[in-house]
């Protein structure tokens, strides 16, 4: 068999974005030996691209903010499908995680009196996003990496080896998780992208922190790594995914020129005063405020404009509705023939703020449009449209420990599910990474303490061979199907048939196509050897994209309602009975597809429900639930 490089660790963290790094730091601080693995270069993850900021109810800009209000906003944004316990932990712990970053060297933008400044964002009642201009993710990753280096320096001082407790394996893709004979996690197999050499990591605990799935869609803000690897690795190892039908289409991606279609235009543009107009010049969002949100949003342009300076006495502009609402509204305007020449709508900040202010507050956006589209956003509106951005669905985890149903397997960050319900609020991801990355690291370390040195789960040699054989298969299909063609066909299928608005006949058609793609995938081949061979890498990523897309399509066909990031053409309303259901995907018994089952959603604790008015809960809950709730709600 293959001569495979071997390593032994306590914890293997797959992914070096915010969630992975925060998890690794926590496990190392608990004294564990940790490997951090990243498919791309170290430091290049979606977390770096996060622009707007990290949501944390510190109350620095509006003292009325607190965890209860943040919890409420998160549940509203997710339309009550969130795991309440995750939303609670997130709201309570986010401020500490931001503070901790400052103690590790982060420097957030300041208020006039020197506190961490906070900006407005869609769905957040008060200014809440801690930020560094529009480059927050960069500061976050920079700080976490700096913390990793600081810990490595401590290790060097203590035992002469920088990498004794924390080692980074960059440009290394994990292709399979391994379990022992008892079904506990025992390690993972991957390959170095540059050489094609395989590598085995033996470890009792694995933390998945692999981010999103956007590359299954044509128009996406996601970069090449985001092929749903963690989701697929979890499924293949026997873990489950929850509510995969919920995908966030960010309302504002670039629509022109074609080469950059999908690239994100940060929500901060709207948070800082940018407005949406159709081709007739109308500020159309006023026509799209749904009933559940009517009380919190301005009815006239005058009131909306006053809000930027006086939030006490005015309601917020409808441009700051949650993302699912804004994306659907833009979609409707374009479909009704009121779109721009390139099929988007206008996002204008040029008539709203002085040019130097725009350049100061939105430096990345200014450069992005100047360089990629030759548009000066201080003088002209941008053209924008929805883009596949974020997956709310993910690996099903325990809300406190981030553990899955496979002993030793944890998931955190975007690849984990539950926290955001049917729709994520902007800024709630960066805080999610910190809160739950830390928790995953902590509990993985605790799990480790249950083993003595010789009682650790052992990998099964045949499983290692099988993983290597599976990964090598495309290289012996030299005349096989071109992986790029199959990838293209998959993207078109998901984009056109399982996109923003879902029709059952189209989703069924997509499922039929996904079945046709399976035998094609078996025949996928790439010429060239194992040394940096992108065609081979895509062939391997396709397994993950196909299985995850099947989860998305199956769940989208099953859920007969519209909620958050899932809109059914034939069931346009939210259904209180569907709110009681989580859709759970698992690998089918023969391993060739996925099974879907209904699972009751956990009952929200009464003290948390009491944070809402009964009149609001009535929009989400069934009559039977309300009969029980009535006595506890205020
Ligand atoms: P990521 O940061 O996505 O990192 C995933 C890691 O996993 C990478 O290191 C990758 O190489 C690795 N990986 C993947 N597969 C494998 C594999 N098979 N083997 C080994 N390694 C693997 N959220 C906010 O809260 N605020 C914002 O302002 C914001 N702006 C955004 C702007 C853009 C353009 C984008 C794309 C997203 C934005 N988001 C924002 C969302 C947020 O950035 C992401 O959801 C978040 O960063 C995900 O973090 P993560 O740690 O889960 O994963």
Q: Which H or E run contains 130?
A: strand 129-130
pTM: 0.94
Ligand 1, atom 24, lies closest to the CA of 427
* φ, ψ at 225 (rounded to 5°): -75, -15
Ligand 1 centre distance from Cα of residue 312 (Å): 35
Is the interface score ipTM higher than 0.85?
yes
Q: Is 572 exposed, middle or buried (0-12, 13-18, 19+ CB in 10 A)?
A: exposed
Instruction: Please count the other Cβ atoms lying within 10 Å of the Cβ belonging to residue 461.
Output: 9
From the CB of 46, is ligand 1 less than 6 Å away?
Answer: yes
**Are 34 and 13 contacting, i.e. CB atoms less than 8 angstroms apart?**
yes
From the CB of 214, is ligand 1 less than 6 Å away?
Answer: no
From the CB of 418, is ligand 1 less than 6 Å away?
Answer: no
Residue 574, CA distances (Å) to 291, 376, 592, 622 in order: 12, 41, 33, 11
pLDDT at residue number 306: 95
Ligand 1 centre distance from Cα of residue 20 (Å): 10
Helix, strand or coil for residue 513?
A: helix
From the CB of 587, is ligand 1 less than 6 Å away?
Answer: no
Ligand 1 centre distance from Cα of residue 95 (Å): 21
Closest CA to 25 of 105, 136, 115: 105
Would you name the residues annotated as active-site residues? 250, 270
Among 45, 101, 251, 392, name the best residue to mutate to test ligand 1's pocket (greatest count of ligand atoms within 8 A of Cβ): 45
pLDDT at residue number 55: 98
pLDDT at residue number 1: 55
Ligand 1, atom 27, lies closest to the CA of 50
Ligand 1 centre distance from Cα of residue 225 (Å): 9
Ligand 1 atom, smallest distance to 190 CA: 19
Residues of the chain with pLDDT below 50 are: 634
pLDDT at residue number 292: 84
Report how far residue 478's alpha carbon sits from residue 475's, in angstroms, rounded to the nearest whole number. 6
**Are 413 and 209 contacting, i.e. CB atoms less than 8 angstroms apart?**
yes
From the CB of 50, is ligand 1 less than 6 Å away?
Answer: yes
Q: How do residues 290-307 score in pLDDT, each as one tens digit?
A: 988 899 999 999 999 999
Report how far residue 562's alpha carbon sits from residue 565's, in angstroms, rounded to the nearest whole number. 8
Reported residue count of the chain is: 634
Q: How is residue 448 written in tokens? A: 């480790």
Closest CA to 247 of 328, 173, 174: 328
DSSP 36: E
**Are 579 and 421 contacting, i.e. CB atoms less than 8 angstroms apart?**
no
DSSP 564: T
Check residue 60 and give left, alpha or beta (phi > 0: left; psi -120 to 50: alpha). Answer: alpha
Q: How do residues 61-96 score in pLDDT, each as one tens digit?
A: 999 999 999 999 999 999 999 999 999 999 999 999
pLDDT at residue number 634: 46
Q: How is residue 491 written in tokens? A: 């993207």
Report how far residue 4's alpha carbon sits from residue 8's, in angstroms, rounded to the nearest whole number. 13
Closest CA to 396 of 177, 86, 189, 30: 86
pLDDT at residue number 268: 87
Ligand 1, atom 28, lies closest to the CA of 52
Q: How is residue 353 written in tokens? A: 């703020």
Ligand 1 centre distance from Cα of residue 414 (Å): 7
From the CB of 252, is ligand 1 less than 6 Å away?
Answer: no
Report how far residue 456's alpha carbon sits from residue 434's, in angstroms, rounded to the nearest whole number. 29
Helix, strand or coil for residue 598?
A: strand
């Amino acid at each position: 068999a293959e001569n495979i490089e071997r390593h032994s660790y306590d914890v293997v963290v797959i992914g070096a974005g915010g969630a992975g790094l925060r998890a690794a730091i926590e496990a190392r601080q608990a004294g564990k030996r940790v490997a951090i693995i990243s498919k791309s270069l170290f430091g290049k993850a979606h977390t770096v691209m996060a622009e707007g900021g990290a949501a944390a109810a510190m109350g620095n800009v509006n003292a009325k903010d607190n965890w209860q209000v943040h919890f409420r906003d998160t549940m509203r944004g997710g339309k009550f499908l969130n795991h309440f316990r995750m939303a609670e932990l997130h709201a309570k712990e986010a401020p500490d995680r931001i503070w901790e970053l400052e103690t590790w060297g982060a420097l957030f933008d300041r208020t006039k009196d020197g506190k961490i400044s906070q900006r407005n964002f869609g769905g957040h009642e008060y200014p809440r996003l801690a930020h560094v201009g529009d480059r927050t993710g960069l500061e976050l990753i920079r700080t976490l990496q700096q913390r990793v280096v600081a810990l490595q320096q401590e290790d060097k001082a203590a035992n002469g080896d920088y990498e004794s407790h924390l080692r980074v394996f960059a440009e290394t893709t994990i292709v399979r998780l391994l379990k022992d004979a008892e079904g506990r996690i025992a390690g993972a197999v991957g390959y170095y992208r540059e050489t094609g050499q395989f590598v085995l990591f033996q470890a009792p605990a694995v933390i998945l922190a692999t981010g999103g799935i956007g590359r299954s869609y044509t128009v996406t803000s996601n970069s090449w790594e985001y092929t749903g690897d963690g989701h697929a690795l979890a499924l293949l190892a026997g873990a489950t995914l929850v509510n995969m039908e919920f995908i966030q289409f960010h309302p504002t991606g670039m629509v022109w020129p074609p080469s950059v279609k999908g690239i994100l235009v940060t929500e901060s543009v709207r948070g800082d005063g940018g407005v949406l107009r159709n081709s007739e010049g109308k500020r159309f969002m006023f026509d799209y405020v749904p009933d559940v949100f009517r009380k919190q949003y301005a009815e006239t342009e005058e009131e909306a404009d006053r809000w930027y300076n006086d939030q006490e006495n005015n309601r917020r502009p409808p441009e700051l509705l949650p993302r699912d609402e804004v994306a659907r509204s833009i979609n409707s305007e374009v479909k009704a023939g009121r779109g721009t020449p390139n099929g988007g709508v206008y996002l204008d900040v040029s008539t709203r703020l002085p040019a130097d202010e725009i350049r100061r507050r939105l430096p990345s956006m200014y450069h992005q449009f100047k360089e990629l589209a030759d548009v000066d956003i201080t003088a002209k509106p941008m053209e924008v449209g929805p883009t596949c951005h974020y997956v709310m669905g993910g690996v099903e985890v325990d809300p406190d420990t981030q553990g899955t149903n496979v002993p030793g397997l944890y998931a955190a960050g975007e690849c984990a599910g539950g926290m955001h319900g049917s729709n994520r609020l902007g800024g709630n991801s960066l805080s999610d990474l910190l809160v739950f990355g830390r928790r995953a690291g902590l509990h993985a370390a605790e799990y480790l303490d249950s083993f003595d040195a010789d009682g650790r789960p052992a990998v099964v040699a045949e499983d290692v061979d099988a993983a290597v054989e599976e990964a090598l298969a495309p290289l012996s299909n030299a005349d096989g199907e071109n992986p790029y063609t199959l990838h293209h066909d998959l993207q078109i299928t998901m984009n056109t048939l399982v996109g923003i608005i879902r029709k059952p006949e189209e989703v069924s058609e997509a499922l039929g196509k996904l079945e046709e793609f399976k035998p094609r995938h078996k025949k996928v081949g790439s010429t060239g050897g194992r040394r940096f061979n992108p065609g081979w890498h895509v062939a391997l990523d396709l397994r993950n994209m196909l299985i995850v897309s099947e989860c998305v399509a199956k769940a989208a066909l099953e859920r007969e309602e519209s909620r958050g990031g899932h809109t059914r053409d034939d069931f346009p309303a939210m259904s209180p009975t569907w709110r009681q259901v989580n859709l759970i995907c698992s690998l089918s018994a023969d391993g060739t597809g996925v099974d879907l089952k209904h699972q009751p959603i956990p009952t929200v604790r009464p003290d948390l429900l009491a944070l809402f008015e009964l009149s609001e809960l009535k929009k989400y809950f069934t009559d039977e639930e309300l009969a029980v709730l009535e006595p506890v709600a205020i």
